[in-house]
A = this chain, B = another copy of it.
């Protein structure tokens, strides 16, 4: 592929229109997520509490926008003003939960369809991260941490509203905090936000913006597909372990343990007792 055609392709990806196909893909995966989160009782729940089911699905679909608006002092409900998106999300919710013989759900779970939707959702996610970073940069031109936070929350909002979304369905799981065990999409969004911030605010990245954007899209889609098809769930783990060992006490803890055994009398005695 010659570089010019590649750049052309990248430019097209940057300008891709999200409505309606990407919105549909996103909504399908969100509704699937809610349905799977409900477990085996999903169908019975959707019949008994349609309102709570609809609301929690909408919360997942619009999670990023609502969360970021809330944190930036903008109206939390504003994302719902886009009637077209809302209608798409509602139709998808209806199809996933209420079609006769569960055709909608079964179709959405069919692997090729799921893969196509996942790929499109990742392209959408990249756009959302970029929009989040840009929006935050407009409001706070020097607050890098806010840009990264907003980019991450907009890209993977559903992960962070999970607690509240479940609460709407009457389930409370305080230990399912995304910050405790960040999932791969969260980490990927953090990395993407950092790259976008570097691209926007510094001269460290000399590549044209479209290429940077396209690179992140490829990175998102590639790891999503490898997670779906090959079962590689988190390529960041080795880097994290290295970082933790170097900076977050790993080496020093090991050293302290070692020295404690050799030098400190009390701890030595203590260690002996334990042995």
Contact = CB atoms under 8 A, between A and B. Distances in A.
Interface of A: 43, 46-47, 49-52, 55, 69-78, 80-81, 83, 86, 97-102, 139-140, 142-146, 149-150, 163, 167-172, 174-175, 177, 179-182, 244, 247-250, 252-253, 255-256
A16 to B, nearest CB: 25
Contacts of A83: 142-145
Contact of A250 (B47, B77, B81, B180): B47
Contacts of A149: 77, 80
A174 B180 contact: no
Given A49-B180, A52-B180, A170-B175, 4 more contacts: A47-B244, A72-B76, A101-B252, A170-B177
A142 B83 CA distance: 8
13 contacts: A46-B249, A52-B179, A52-B180, A71-B75, A73-B73, A73-B75, A75-B139, A81-B142, A81-B146, A86-B145, A98-B248, A170-B174, A172-B172
A201 B46 CA distance: 31
Contacts of A170: 174-175, 177, 180
Contacts of A69: 73
A252 B52 contact: no
Given A73-B69, A73-B74, A75-B139, A55 B179 contact: yes
Contacts of A145: 80, 83, 86
4 tightest A-B CB contacts, nearest first: A172-B174, A73-B75, A81-B143, A100-B252
Contacts of A80: 143, 145-146, 149
Contacts of A98: 247-249, 252
A161 to B, nearest CB: 13
A172 B170 CA distance: 12
A250 B50 CA distance: 12
Given A146-B77, A149-B77, A168 B177 contact: yes
A48 to B, nearest CB: 9
Contacts of A139: 75
Given A142-B83, A247-B98, A256-B101, A179 B168 contact: yes
